[in-house]
Chains A and B, each alone.
Chain A
Amino acid sequence: MLPEFTITRPSRIDEVIDVLSADVVPYAGGTELLLAMKMGLLVPTGLVDLKRVPGLREIAVSDTALLIGAGATHDDVARNELVRTSAPLLAEVETRVGNARVRAQGTVGGNLCFAEPRSDLLAVLAAIDASLVLRSVRGERTLSMSEFVLGPYWTDRADDELLVHVSIPMPCPAGAYLKLQITERPTVGVAAVRTSSGQCRLVVGSVVEVPLVITAESWEEIDPVAIAREVEPVSDIAGSSEYKKHVTEVYVRRVIGLAQGGGR
């Protein structure tokens, strides 16, 4: 049973950021927020509906960046022609997030701001070096993924800030993403991409509190065993820490193999 709350439906971003606070929170697909409210984990007094704000859902590309509105759903991203041609790895990963309803309702912004560590999106956006644009009445700022995600369910977003869009550098690094997933969320997710400057970027997600980013000049320099030693997963219903470390090593090795083969 949901608690009681108010709903406001602004039609402009300015109106959104005017009312955001610790108790009055952005609300889009609700796939994370409403569940957390049902379970009593979050008890906001007001929801600010972002779904009726024009522009927040837009996806656009420039010479230097692909801009994905925070209100775009996973399905929007997965099926968008711009994304499919300029960031195919991201499009591919977005076709496998959650289930078809979560993909149709859940948004990129919601996923990022919730910062659930077992997230495909966090790992792949960290791999392709996305940056995030936040806006408040105090102004606008741009954060890298590592600046934004501070811990499990913890980001650098201030209560009065709105995540406006995600910016992906063009040309987008290409590579591969692999995950071991038994239940609703991945146990371990690994991404391996090569940037336009030739740098190898490997990201380990889900098994860690925040995505672990490793860069190297060549894939051979990245040691899956060393990475497995570095991660400190918690034991839970998806597996013991020991097992998660082991599959991290296996998946890192496998995703590097895929990336060496070209990837997406």
Chain B
Amino acid sequence: MPEVDAGAEHGTVGRSVQRRDLLEKVTGAAIYTVDITPPGTLHAKVVRSAYAHAQIVRIDAEAALAMPGVVAVVTADDIKDLYPRFGHIVPDHYILATGKVRYYGEPVALVVAETFAAAADAAAEVEVHYSELPAAMSVAEALAPSAPLVHEEAFVVSADESFSAMAATPTLEEVTERTNVAHEVALGWGDVEAALASAHLVVSNEGMKFPMLYAYAMEPYNAIATYADGQLHVISTAQHPFMVRTDLARIFDLPLARVRVQVPYLGGGYGSKSYTKVEPLAAVGSWATGRPVKLVLDVEEAIYTTRADAAEVNVRTAFDADGAILARDIELRLDSGAYADNSPLVLAKAANRCFGPYRIPNLRVRARSVYTNTSPASSYRGFGAPQGSFACEVNLDKAADLLSIDGDELRRRNLVDHGEEILPGKRGLDADLKADLDLVVDSLRRDATQAQASGIGYAVTASDAGAFPVSTAQVRLQTDGSVVVLSGSTEMGQGSRSTLAQIAAEELGVELDVVSVSQSDTATVAYERTTGASRTTTLTGLALQRACADARSKAAEMAAEVFGWSAGEITQVRGGVCGPQERFVAFGEVIMRWFGANAGEITGIGLVRRTGATQKMPPFWECGIVGVEVDVDQETGEIDVRQLVTVADVGFAINPRAVEGQDLGAATQGMGIALFEELIYDGPQLVNPNVVDYRVPRMRDLPAKIDTMIVERRDGIGPYGAKGAGEGALNPMAAAVASAVGRAIGKWPTQVPLTPERVWRLINDLPEAES
């Protein structure tokens, strides 16, 4: 029996084992929230605002209530005795519009009926009388001197110290005068003005525009809530069930222990299912009727529920004659929509990430998150990084041109080294970005065509992972040697169910197929703060390793007691313990001997907090190193992506195929931002709140060459040297495509997505079309 030893060859991790959730998913047996309908369930339909900004004068629900099958129509008046708001950082988000509506599509009333059809038919009969108010539909309008206020009242930031720990940037002093600025941060060091004044070259990109995005998780938000006997049970499409539980407990003034949030398989998340969405609506529906209530949004409603922050960025970079960066001066404005939700943290992260993993002696970043009368923005894969990197990486390529240095060489001269700090006082970089960039550029150049209308582009990002280290895990060793893992991390497609099983099998020395993993049920599994920021492998993985160690040492103690061995005589081995004379006792036998019955179990507990390896923030840097080659039709502006190259610098790949899959998926979403994706407002409402007009990447958009590389230097703090993965390749994609297009046409893009028309305008120096 080989000893459990981190230095030994791994048994289960590091192999592309078959993902265990996939079998259920290919047979149609896998259950998603939308597939669940408990007996006696009522169905809900949301009545939504028809205005971007208006006072609610009166709501007439009598006609709707009189329709067949209608049980209740819930409005803000009905829930005023509850805590009627939610929100992770700023609890500014009304469950149902109260007093006024702040965006087109905002929930105003909830119709609850015996069937979905009855609810939908009746929702059309709820008459809401409005008195229209002037609206601020853009950041420019919202910041104008006489702008209408989206929120008249100020809300206290409710987040705990984890917010400030992850923000790294000081929040600017509270302003007394109300404006539409939801949040403001500033970050920097050195003397930027002096550096700009004395520089060999200053390169600026003004007004770089990053679009409003819809993550399009294909299962739209939905939830089933049952409020009965002072307990609330919610099944929903939430990435973070424990966070949702907190919001729900506050709304109903319930102890956390009397709120249960369960999350089955999730039909896509990509950050868009972070934090609370439709759960309060379903819950107040059940609270009002005393029956289970199911609320399923359609895609249009989902788009009006959460989108990603749009951004406008100004960047100036000062260089010396050799291309060394002397200073960067960056201004970021996020359009965060009608409610702040998680945008303050997105803003803070955008500020931390926008200037890139470069040695920058003088830095100034000023960033504002602005309320507008548009759909609320919140988390989205990449979390502020794509917004900043588009402007700031294109800025470097423009500079490289002016300095007559290759873009990769310019980066090489400025990238921080392994271990070097990017943010003062924070964890040093745990990656070798120069080597990673070489891999990308070599691959691109190897297959590049010499065609005049083609160009290569590449970009680099490093994100201070927003993974605040509060994680727990439990393992339960069974009498037959099998193992149950309990985790609050949600399986949303990234493969955590499989990864956690691999770690448990490895740590306990058992076969993978005797490990089962239960996830995301606040009543039964171990606490996990969130499923976001690529934290699961690193932080939940660490907690699970510790839980396994705890179980192993408990088994050793129990064996010592049962067999009368001294602690020094026992070694922990694969699948059990070893006593004197190489006597092997399997975990199951230890359990049965200790309990004195064919029964019992050992529970191992693993806890992770800000101490030891996870003291320093961020727990890891999530890096993105990508490149593309594009062909541009110089007459029409159509873009054909010929090559896509990514490097996943993940420390250690517990399941390499799964890592590759996450990286290609992230890169493809990033390509969507670069080429197609953009929510467009015309007046109070979106022009394209549907998947016909909001175009996402399709199979035919796939590049001819895809090269996904994994780099494993075991330089993460996670299990076996692992770091988080899954966002990295998205973050620099817009920048990489924009740079490739820039090289192909000789003009630097100022906006994504690069629609054919935008490229054509760029080629011909035409102004942006009137929208």
Distance of A235 Cα from B680 Cα, bound (Å): 14
- Beyond A1-B117, A1-B120, A237-B687, whether A247 also contacts B636 by CB under 8 A is yes
Contact check: which of A182, A183, A240, A246 meets B770 at CB < 8 Å? A240
Complex Cα distance, B687 from A65, in Å, reads: 44
- The distance in angstroms between the C-alpha atoms of A246 and B760, with both chains bound, is 10
| Contact flag A180-B117 (CB < 8 Å), given A237-B680, A250-B636 | no
Contact of B769 among A180, A183, A184, A235 (CB under 8 A): A235
Task: Identify which of A183, A184, A237, A250 gathers the most chain B CB atoms within 10 Å of its CB.
Answer: A237
- Provide the bound-state CA to CA distance between A82 and B630, in Å: 40
B695 pairs with A183, CB closer than 8 A: yes
* Minimum CB distance partner of A241 in chain B: B769
Q: Which of B711-761 contact A (CB under 8 A)?
A: 755-757, 760-761
**B635 and A250 form a contact (CB under 8 A):** yes
Check B769 against A182 for contact (C-beta < 8 Å).
Answer: no
**Mask: chain A, 84-125; 1 = CB below 8 Å from B; 0 = not:** 000000000000000000000000000000000000000000
- The yes or no answer to A54 lying at the interface (CB within 8 A) is no
Report how many residues on chain B are interfacial, defined by Cβ distance under 8 Å. 22
Q: Which residues of B contact A246 (CB under 8 A)?
A: 636, 760
Q: Is B447 in the interface zone, CB < 8 Å from A?
A: no
- Is A242 interfacial (CB-CB < 8 Å)? yes
Q: Are B756 and A180 in contact (CB under 8 A)?
A: yes
Instruction: Answer whether residue B638 sits at the interface, using C-beta atoms and an 8 A cutoff.
Output: yes
Contact of B692 among A184, A239, A243, A250 (CB under 8 A): A184
Whole-angstrom distance between the alpha carbons of A183 and B121 in the complex?
31
Which positions 163-187 of chain A face chain B at CB distance < 8 Å? Answer: 180, 182-184
Residues of B within 8 A of A240 (CB): 757, 769-770
Residue of B116, B676, B757, B770 near A239 (CB, 8 A) is B757
CB atoms of B121 and A1 under 8 A apart? yes
Residues of B within 8 A of A183 (CB): 692-693, 695
Residue picked from B121, B693, B757, B766, most chain A C-beta under 10 Å: B757
A interface footprint on B674-713 (CB within 8 Å = 1, 0 otherwise): 0010001000000110001101000000000000000000
Cα–Cα distance between A182 and B672 once the two chains are bound (Å): 12
B635-656: which have CB < 8 Å to A? 635-636, 638
Which residues of chain B in 604-644 are interfacial with respect to chain A, using CB atoms and an 8 Å cutoff?
635-636, 638
Bound-complex Cα distance A182 to B121 (A):
35
In the bound complex, CA of A152 to CA of B766 (Å):
30
A182 near B695 with CB under 8 A, answer yes
State the Cβ distance, B675 to closest chain A Cβ, in Å: 9
A235 proximity list for chain B (CB < 8 A): 769-770
User: A180 to B116, alpha carbons, bound, how many Å?
Assistant: 40
Number of interface residues of A (CB under 8 A): 14
Nearest residue in B to A184 (C-beta to C-beta)? B692
CA distance A240 to B688 in the complex (A): 16
Bound complex: CA A242 to CA B116 (Å): 45
B769 cross-chain contacts in A, Cβ below 8 A: 235, 239-240, 242-243
B638 A243 Cβ-Cβ under 8 A: no
Question: Which residue of B116, B636, B688 contacts A237 across the interface (Cβ within 8 Å)?
Answer: B688
* Contact residues in B for A250 (Cβ distance below 8 Å): 635-636
Q: Chain B CB within 10 Å — which of A235, A243, A250 has the most?
A: A243
A180 to chain B, nearest CB (A): 7
Scoring B680, B687, B692 by chain A CB atoms within 10 A of each residue's CB, the highest score goes to B692
Contact B676–A182 (Cβ < 8 Å):
yes
Q: Chain A residues near B117: list those with CB within 8 A.
A: 1
- Whether B756 lies near A182 (C-beta < 8 A) is yes
**Cβ-defined contact, A243 with B687, below 8 A:** no
Q: How far, in angstroms, from A240 to B764 measured CA to CA in the complex?
A: 15
Residues of chain B with a CB closer than 8 A to A247's CB: 636, 756
Chain A 237-264 interface residues, beta-carbon cutoff 8 Å to B: 237, 239-240, 242-243, 246-247, 250
The chain A residue with its CB closest to the CB of B687 is: A237
The winner among B116, B680, B766 for most chain A CB atoms within 10 A is: B766
A235 to B682 alpha-carbon distance, docked (Å) = 13
Within the complex, the shortest CB–CB distance from B287 to chain A, in Å, comes to 26
By beta carbon, the residue of chain A nearest B678 is: A237
Known: A237-B688, A240-B769, A243-B760. A180 touches B638 (CB 8 A): yes
Contact A182–B760 (Cβ < 8 Å)? no
Give B247-284 as 1s and 0s: 1 = Cβ < 8 Å from A's Cβ atoms: 00000000000000000000000000000000000000
A237-B755 Cα distance, complex, nearest whole Å: 10
Query: In the complex, which residue of chain B has the Cβ closest to the Cβ of A35?
Result: B692
Nearest-neighbor residue (CB-CB) of B117 within chain A: A1
CA distance A239 to B693 in the complex (A): 12
Distance between A247 CB and nearest chain B CB, rounded to angstroms: 5
Q: How far is the CA of A180 from the CA of B759 in the complex (A)?
A: 15
A231: min CB distance to chain B, Å: 16
B residues near A237, Cβ cutoff 8 Å: 680, 687-688, 693
What is the CA–CA distance of A183 and B690 in the complex, to the nearest angstrom?
12
Chain B proximity of A197: nearest CB distance (Å):
33
How far is B636's CA from A184's CA once the two chains are assembled, in angstroms? 19
Shortest CB-to-CB span from B297 to chain A, Å, is: 13
Chain A hits for B680, CB < 8 A: 237
A180 to B676, CA, bound (A): 15
Q: How far, in whole Å, are A235 and B769 apart by their CA atoms in the complex?
A: 9
Q: How far is the CB of A39 from chain B (nearest CB, A)?
A: 10
Task: Kindly state the separation between the CA atoms of A250 and B117 in the bound complex, as whole angstroms.
Answer: 49
Contacting residues, chain A, for B687 (C-beta < 8 A) = 237
From 92 to 133 in chain B, residues with beta carbon under 8 angstroms from any chain A beta carbon are: 116-117, 120-121
**For the complex, what is the distance from the CA of A246 to the CA of B117, rounded to whole Å?**
47
> Within 8 Å CB of A1, what residues of B?
116-117, 120-121
Of all chain A residues, the one with the shortest Cβ separation from B761 is A243
A243 to B770, CA, bound (A): 12
Q: Give the distance in Å from the alpha carbon of A180 to the alpha carbon of B121 in the complex.
A: 40
B755 to chain A, nearest CB (A): 7
- Tell me the complex Cα distance, A235–B756, Å: 14
Q: What is the CB-to-nearest-CB distance from B31 to chain A, in angstroms, rounded to a whole number?
A: 25
Nearest-Cβ distance from residue B637 to partner chain A, whole angstroms: 8
Residues of A within 8 A of B693 (CB): 183, 237
Q: Separation in Å of the A95 CB from the closest CB of chain B?
A: 13
Q: A240-B769, A247-B636 are in contact. List 17 more A-B contacts (CB 8 A).
A: A1-B117, A1-B120, A182-B755, A182-B756, A183-B692, A235-B769, A237-B680, A239-B755, A239-B756, A239-B757, A240-B757, A240-B770, A243-B757, A243-B760, A246-B760, A250-B635, A250-B636
State the A residues within 8 Å of B (CB).
1, 180, 182-184, 235, 237, 239-240, 242-243, 246-247, 250
Task: Give B residues with C-beta under 8 Å from A.
Answer: 116-117, 120-121, 635-636, 638, 676, 680, 687-688, 692-693, 695, 755-757, 760-761, 766, 769-770
5 contacts between A and B (CB under 8 A): A1-B121, A180-B756, A182-B695, A239-B757, A243-B760
Q: Which 9 pairs across A and B sit closest by C-beta, in order of nearness? A: A240-B769, A243-B757, A1-B120, A239-B757, A250-B635, A184-B692, A183-B695, A247-B636, A237-B693
